[in-house]
Chains A and B, each alone.
Chain A
Amino acid sequence: MGLISSTHSISRYYIDGKFEGSAAEEVRNNLIAYSIPKLESEYDEISAGWTPFESPYNPDFDKFSIQFGTYFLFSLRVDKKSIPIRLIQKYMAIEIEKKIEKSGRNFISKNEKTEIKEMVIDLLMHKIPAVPSIYEILWNYEEQNLYLFTTQKAANELFETLFFKSFKLKAVRLFPYTLVETKSGFSNSHKDRILSLTPLKYTR
């Protein structure tokens, strides 16, 4: 588990807005509504959803807590199917041979090859299991701070999309510009001065 492992990689967010009702209830209900399905879909290449921190493979929010002190802690699980290219090549070679034998020709057209490839990918996609990745989320609701325990771009993008879909709150990535805008407390004229700065030149 990332949060209690010895080293961490973290990208940070400012959560723009708050719930009108009880935060604990809203968070819990929306985590349940967008939790990862218990049964893996054999058709989806990628599926993403929330799971409890202590139970990443069983998304049971009735059994496991999401509140630890003043923080919400849960995980984003991303299940992804990826077919090794050599497996596609192997099954394509088998299918092409079958097609040639059946047709009586000694070649197949480009279109036929494309059709075979699509059919092979479709077939393998159904058979191959998805590989899960778990990314933990630590949310200080009152301070409007959220930490995602990864710096992988694809995971960040999936998180941002799912978070907005689930909670109707925008997660704004914190980097130099957004820190000034959301956390500085600077006046508008002060911000304007900062945003008109240019890169420093240190050489004489």
Chain B
Amino acid sequence: MLDIAAAYNKYKFLGNDFLTWIWFSIETQKDFSALLASKDVIIFEIGNSIVLENKLGDKSKEKITIKGDEAGLEEGTTALKKGAWVTQINLNCKINEDEYKFTIKGESFNITGLKTPKTDLSKNGDEIEGLIIEKAFSCFRIFEVIDTLFLKYLEQRVSDDWNHKGLQDIKNWIGSF
């Protein structure tokens, strides 16, 4: 393995590219259950925020933040057209009947504001153990979906038809705005 700090910086683009691809996949109504080869019904939706970054001519960067439950994403799509990439996105994920909401950062895959499916929050005696196990299961489950999706994305990225299929589809989507 490479030095961890160096590898973090060198390959953070993989996470950012992945988030841009998720946005594209949601907007073009890709079948996530099929992508993940899962028997569960898995649906992703864009949540209430997206952060993009764009390199300007010199060493400086432009940061575009879109926030709000009903916010339009036009500034985001315009930024993509100018060459920006997604660095952070808020997502809603439905696995069968269970709903998860969270914000994921591309470079670190840190998750903030994670809301897992509702559980009974009573803290009486033995019930706490059941509650903890249920919460833990929910946390591990959503990360399993994210990790599998990321690895599926990487499989596509290194496949032979990526340049004239995968990448071209994203370019067509961005060009359609």
Contacts and interface: CB of A to CB of B under 8 A. Distances in A.
Interface of A is mostly: mixed
A181 interface: yes
A174 B8 CA distance: 10
A54 B128 contact: yes
A9 B136 contact: no
Interface stretch (A80-88, A109-117, A187-195): A187-195
A106 interface: no
Interface string A120-148: 00000000000000000010100101010
B53 to A, nearest CB: 11
- By size class, the interface of chain B is 35 or more
Contacts of B94: none
Contact of B135 (A3, A9, A180): A3
Interface string B88-124: 0000000000000000001111111111100001010
A193 B85 CA distance: 22
B56 interface: no
Interface stretch (B37-45, B66-74, B139-147): B139-147
A98 interface: no
Contacts of B4: 172-173, 178
A3 B113 contact: no
A174 B81 contact: no
Interface of A: 3-4, 6-12, 53-54, 68-69, 71, 73, 138, 140, 143, 145, 147, 151, 172-181, 183-184, 186, 190, 193-195, 197-204
Interface of B: 1-2, 4, 7-8, 10-18, 20, 80-83, 85, 106-116, 121, 123, 128-129, 131-133, 135-136, 139-140, 143, 147, 150-151, 154, 157-158, 167, 170-171, 174-175
